[in-house]
Chain A
Amino acid sequence: MSDTHQQSIAFVRDTMLPEAPPPTAETGIVKWMRENLFSNVTNGLLTLAALAAIYYLLSGFMPWLLNGIWDAPSIRACREVLQGEVGGCFAVLTERWNQLLFGFKYPDEEYWRPTLAFVLLFAAAAPVMFPNHVPKALLVFTGLYPFLAYWLIWGGPILSPIFGLLGFVVGYLVWNRLVAQSFAAGFFGAIIAAMITWWLGGMIVEAMASENTLLAAVPSRDMGGFMLNMILGTVCVSLSIPFGIALALGRQSDMPIIKWICVIFIEFIRGVPLITLLFVANVVLAYFLPPGTTFDLILRVIIMITMFASAYIAEVIRGGLAALPKGQYEAADSLGLDYPQAMRLIILPQALKISIPGIVNVAVGLFKDTTLVSVISMFDLVGMIRGPILASTEWNGVYWELLGFAALLFFVVCYGISQYSQWLERQLQTDHR
């Protein structure tokens, strides 16, 4: 019986078929679409809904963008050119470009100075951001950059940034000399030496002050536009990282008094919105300063935003410290390192690496929050748009172009930073998974 079956097979192929391409439904774009867009009914409906949404968005947006007017003196001229058609009036961007970037008071002929400072920022940041791809020698420039940028943007006597730098140099020398004895001696010695240098420098600058400076002085209240956002963002983030590290270490310390000072500071700052701190900078801080001192508003705002950011960064770094295995602390102890050495050489480098995403999050959030200074009537990018530009008779009503431009500018910067941080995380990944 069993062999009847064998007989029933009429034909057995004895040669291989030539290779054939897979059926069209199983290859290329068709397969991809079947898998990714129309795998089942729900998915197909979702796809159609998404397509409809995209079509709706683009059909409104594209004509407005493509039909835009880039060259006109006022919104009425724009409307005349458009004659009722849909189109953006981007002429406001070209006409008020400088105001959007630099504010409306910064002297026109000095625009090259903040621009140069901005370009140099990349050169200064490169050795820190890409340590493996940029020569280490550039780090010297990074150290010089804050003073150079200050002098470029604010101008005035060149002696003041030089003495500012000198204070740090003297402090570093003293530190180098004393740190062999004990960390505390080096630390406090450096601070005292730097203070003395700055104090002497201040007197010398005052004595030698002359009207003829290389770069004309620009007062702080003339800063504005996106430049102000950039200044506040970069200054406050870079200042708040060391403060944040100190606060985080304080919060983790076993010394109860120091711990509680840090805890109260952090929780207080994190519990209130930035706006209230800006109110403090604007209306209250003056009461707490010695009578007769006039701090300019930017400095007061920088102080408050730095306090705000350092509280958040402290929490991020505390997370990094807590995430380190206990064995690392014990290893440092067993090597006989004292607290500052253990922190500097073993704990902090690892803790900071863990905290990078968090720190970048804080930095991006902070940069976005610099727009809040427009609430206390400073003319940053948003302040410029809402104040002088939209209130002017020429451009009253050009909302979308201006607000869209501001959103785009912030998007480019913030998205860039977050992409960078993801790249950095991949670079620093030492565990091979």
Chain B
Amino acid sequence: MTTLSDPPRESFRLSMLINDTRYRSYTFQFIALVAVIALFAYLGSNLMYNLREAGLNISYGFLSEPSGYDINQTLIEYDSQSSHWRASVAGILNTLLVAFLACLTATILGVVAGVLRLSNNWLVRKLMAGYVEAFRNVPVLIWIIIIFTVMTAVLPAPSAFRGADPDRTMLLDAFAFTNRGVYIPKPVWLEGSGIVVGVFIASIIGMIAYRRYATKLLYETGKLLPMGWPSLAILFVPTILMFFILGRPIELDYPALKGFNFQGGIQIRGSLIALWFALAIYTGAFIAENVRAGIQAVSKGQTEAAASLGLRPRRIMNLVILPQALRVIIPPLISNYLNITKNSSLAIAVGYMDITGTLGGITLNQTGRAIETVLLLMLFYLAISLAISALMNVYNNAVKLKER
């Protein structure tokens, strides 16, 4: 005889919160949410209490007060009477400057070293492997300090360039390497220089248009126009012609030794150079590995197939290997750019006044507004990273393998 029993009642019991998979996730999320809120409430109340005790408050008013310190290398007008805000902007521009320079240099170095690591020349291969391993395994801070030491302690003082028979001479009469920085010629924009620049920009557009047209012609008719020398000609000839027609409106202001120091030209300080080169050489080693991995990721059959179609080695590289390798190379390359930008905050170790040196260094010390400045600093870097990764996603979507 079978006993009939009711199906289990669907009423809610407390233990179902933890044992029933339908409710368990809600329970966990609720616990997590409460824990996070409690943590923030706890930290916030501590903050409030501590600030009250110290007689402080959270306010960004200090940003409009005069900063009272100098920045030795700025891209915008700045003096010690400018506001803290302007100091921060000068710092941001300095960060972007060094990051841009280092990204550019690191890419060139990394691509060259990465390709050379695959060379069939044993000696070159080993030399490049040595470069990559040496720079990847030593902290970037040490490299920055080493190059900074070269710039400040090893290079001669400007006085070494003085006299009829100086110890040191300027390179090409235009570049002076001293312990106060490197002096390079500075372009002076005379009347009509705008036209030359305009022509140059127009020729860049013209070159792109020509290359587009040539590609289109190739795809439509199979007729291959020369690409290399016409591009170069379009790029440079009109600008050079215009430059001489207008009577050389762009002049160079050469640095020259006057008194105790060099005058004229652009002074690039040792701290900038140390940061720039150290970041470039360090990250270049990482990029070299990415480039090598990217090229090796393209299967050898692709090379062989291209060769059997009768393509020449250079063509194989340009048309078959690189387009596929770039898909592998670009994402880590962009995170390397991100790393350069973030590592440029090490500027504070050599006294280059980037945003960490201005806002996070002197402004913080002078005003004592630790929370506000550190928060602003974090927000700035966060904004940069988000911008770069957004860019990366756009690019990734554009080049990713279109599968059907």
Q: Which residue of A lies closest to B50 (CB)?
A: A287
User: Beyond A36-B122, A273-B343, A411-B137, is A399–B149 a contact (Cβ under 8 Å)?
Assistant: yes
Binding site secondary structure of chain A: helix
* CB-contact partner of B29 in A43, A255, A271, under 8 A: A255
Is A295 interfacial (CB 8 A cutoff)?
Answer: no
Cβ–Cβ contact A51 & B46, under 8 A: no
Chain B residues with Cβ below 8 Å from A37 are: 121-123
Q: In the docked arrangement, what's the CA distance between A268 and B383, Å? A: 10
Cβ–Cβ contact B36 & A182, under 8 A: no
A160-205, CB < 8 A from B: 182, 184-185
Is B224 interfacial (CB 8 A cutoff)?
Answer: no
> Shortest beta-carbon distance, A134 to chain B, in Å?
26
Q: Which of A59-67, A119-127, A146-154, A278-286 contacts its partner?
A: A278-286
Q: Which residue of B lies closest to A338 (CB)?
A: B21
Is B202 interfacial (CB 8 A cutoff)?
Answer: no
Cβ–Cβ contact A418 & B124, under 8 A: no
Cβ–Cβ contact A257 & B145, under 8 A: no
Cβ–Cβ contact A47 & B137, under 8 A: no
Cβ–Cβ contact B120 & A403, under 8 A: no
Is A254 interfacial (CB 8 A cutoff)?
Answer: yes
Is B25 interfacial (CB 8 A cutoff)?
Answer: yes
A406-430, CB under 8 A of B: which get 1 and which 0? 1100110011001000000000000
B83-138, CB < 8 A from A: 116, 119-124, 127, 133-134, 136-138
User: Beyond A51-B123, A272-B381, is A414–B149 a contact (Cβ under 8 Å)?
Assistant: no
* CB-contact partner of A283 in B119, B122, B370, under 8 A: B370
Q: Which residue of A lies closest to B368 (CB)?
A: A283
Cβ–Cβ contact B121 & A254, under 8 A: no
Is B356 interfacial (CB 8 A cutoff)?
Answer: yes
Q: In the docked arrangement, what's the CA distance between A268 and B389, Å? A: 13
Cβ–Cβ contact B127 & A50, under 8 A: yes
B304-361, CB < 8 A from A: 342-343, 345-346, 348-349, 356, 360
Is B32 interfacial (CB 8 A cutoff)?
Answer: yes
Is A289 interfacial (CB 8 A cutoff)?
Answer: yes
User: Beyond A46-B121, A284-B374, is A273–B381 a contact (Cβ under 8 Å)?
Assistant: yes
Binding site secondary structure of chain B: helix
* CB-contact partner of A364 in B137, B377, B381, under 8 A: B137
A264-301, CB under 8 A of B: which get 1 and which 0? 00001011111110011001101111110000000000
Cβ–Cβ contact A47 & B121, under 8 A: yes
User: Beyond A50-B123, A288-B43, is A279–B382 a contact (Cβ under 8 Å)?
Assistant: no
Cβ–Cβ contact A382 & B51, under 8 A: no
Q: In the docked arrangement, what's the CA distance between A235 and B319, Å? A: 49
Q: In the docked arrangement, what's the CA distance between A102 and B117, Å? A: 39
A246-260, CB < 8 A from B: 254-258
Cβ–Cβ contact B377 & A276, under 8 A: yes
Is A397 interfacial (CB 8 A cutoff)?
Answer: yes
Chain A residues with Cβ below 8 Å from B140 are: 368
User: Beyond A279-B377, A375-B346, is A382–B50 a contact (Cβ under 8 Å)?
Assistant: no
> Shortest beta-carbon distance, B128 to chain A, in Å?
9
Cβ–Cβ contact B36 & A290, under 8 A: no
Is B188 interfacial (CB 8 A cutoff)?
Answer: no
Q: In the docked arrangement, what's the CA distance between A47 and B125, Å? A: 10
Chain A residues with Cβ below 8 Å from B382 are: 268, 271-272
Q: In the docked arrangement, what's the CA distance between A188 and B349, Å? A: 44
Is A386 interfacial (CB 8 A cutoff)?
Answer: yes
Is B213 interfacial (CB 8 A cutoff)?
Answer: no
Is B75 interfacial (CB 8 A cutoff)?
Answer: no
Cβ–Cβ contact B18 & A272, under 8 A: no
Cβ–Cβ contact A291 & B345, under 8 A: no
Cβ–Cβ contact B139 & A258, under 8 A: no
Is A115 interfacial (CB 8 A cutoff)?
Answer: no
Q: In the docked arrangement, what's the CA distance between A51 and B46, Å? A: 64
Cβ–Cβ contact A287 & B46, under 8 A: yes
Q: In the docked arrangement, what's the CA distance between A368 and B123, Å? A: 29
* CB-contact partner of B345 in A46, A182, A275, A288, under 8 A: A275
Is A310 interfacial (CB 8 A cutoff)?
Answer: no
Q: In the docked arrangement, what's the CA distance between A35 and B19, Å? A: 70
Q: Which residue of B lies closest to A408 (CB)?
A: B138
Is B142 interfacial (CB 8 A cutoff)?
Answer: yes
B42-61, CB < 8 A from A: 43, 46-47, 49-51, 53
> Shortest beta-carbon distance, B383 to chain A, in Å?
8
Chain A residues with Cβ below 8 Å from B381 are: 271-273, 276
Q: In the docked arrangement, what's the CA distance between A261 and B40, Å? A: 13
> Shortest beta-carbon distance, A378 to chain B, in Å?
13
Chain B residues with Cβ below 8 Å from A406 are: 142
Q: In the docked arrangement, what's the CA distance between A375 and B347, Å? A: 10
Q: In the docked arrangement, what's the CA distance between A382 and B139, Å? A: 10
Q: In the docked arrangement, what's the CA distance between A279 and B360, Å? A: 8
Chain B residues with Cβ below 8 Å from A184 are: 18
Q: In the docked arrangement, what's the CA distance between A372 and B348, Å? A: 10
Is B232 interfacial (CB 8 A cutoff)?
Answer: no
* CB-contact partner of A258 in B32, B348, B371, under 8 A: B32
Q: Which residue of B lies closest to A254 (CB)?
A: B25
> Shortest beta-carbon distance, A356 to chain B, in Å?
17
B381-401, CB under 8 A of A: which get 1 and which 0? 110011000000000000000
Cβ–Cβ contact A369 & B139, under 8 A: yes
Q: Which residue of B lies closest to A368 (CB)?
A: B139
User: Beyond A275-B345, A374-B141, A415-B133, is A182–B18 a contact (Cβ under 8 Å)?
Assistant: yes
Chain B residues with Cβ below 8 Å from A286 are: 50
User: Beyond A268-B382, A284-B370, is A374–B121 a contact (Cβ under 8 Å)?
Assistant: no
User: Beyond A39-B120, A271-B382, is A288–B47 a contact (Cβ under 8 Å)?
Assistant: yes
Chain B residues with Cβ below 8 Å from A369 are: 139
Is B209 interfacial (CB 8 A cutoff)?
Answer: no
> Shortest beta-carbon distance, A369 to chain B, in Å?
7
Chain B residues with Cβ below 8 Å from A275 are: 345-346, 348, 356, 360
> Shortest beta-carbon distance, A28 to chain B, in Å?
15
User: Beyond A255-B29, A271-B385, A290-B46, is A407–B19 a contact (Cβ under 8 Å)?
Assistant: no
Q: In the docked arrangement, what's the CA distance between A1 and B53, Å? A: 120
Q: In the docked arrangement, what's the CA distance between A432 and B381, Å? A: 45
B134-160, CB < 8 A from A: 134, 136-142, 145-146, 149, 153
Chain A residues with Cβ below 8 Å from B385 are: 270-272
* CB-contact partner of A276 in B36, B133, B345, under 8 A: B345
Q: In the docked arrangement, what's the CA distance between A422 and B107, Å? A: 26
Chain B residues with Cβ below 8 Å from A287 are: 46-47, 50-51, 370-371
Q: Which residue of A lies closest to B40 (CB)?
A: A288
B204-231, CB under 8 A of A: which get 1 and which 0? 0000000000000000000000000000
Q: In the docked arrangement, what's the CA distance between A372 and B345, Å? A: 10
Chain A residues with Cβ below 8 Å from B120 are: 35-36, 39, 43
> Shortest beta-carbon distance, A418 to chain B, in Å?
7
Is B28 interfacial (CB 8 A cutoff)?
Answer: yes
Closest 3 pairs between A and B when the two form their complex, measured CB to CB: A36-B122, A414-B137, A271-B385
Complex A-B: 17 CB contacts under 8 Å: A35-B120, A46-B123, A47-B124, A51-B123, A54-B123, A54-B127, A182-B18, A255-B29, A257-B29, A275-B360, A283-B374, A284-B371, A287-B370, A375-B346, A375-B348, A403-B149, A414-B138
Other A-B pairs beyond A35-B120, A271-B382, A374-B349, 12, CB < 8 Å:
A39-B121, A46-B119, A257-B29, A279-B360, A283-B364, A283-B370, A287-B370, A368-B139, A371-B141, A382-B141, A382-B145, A411-B137
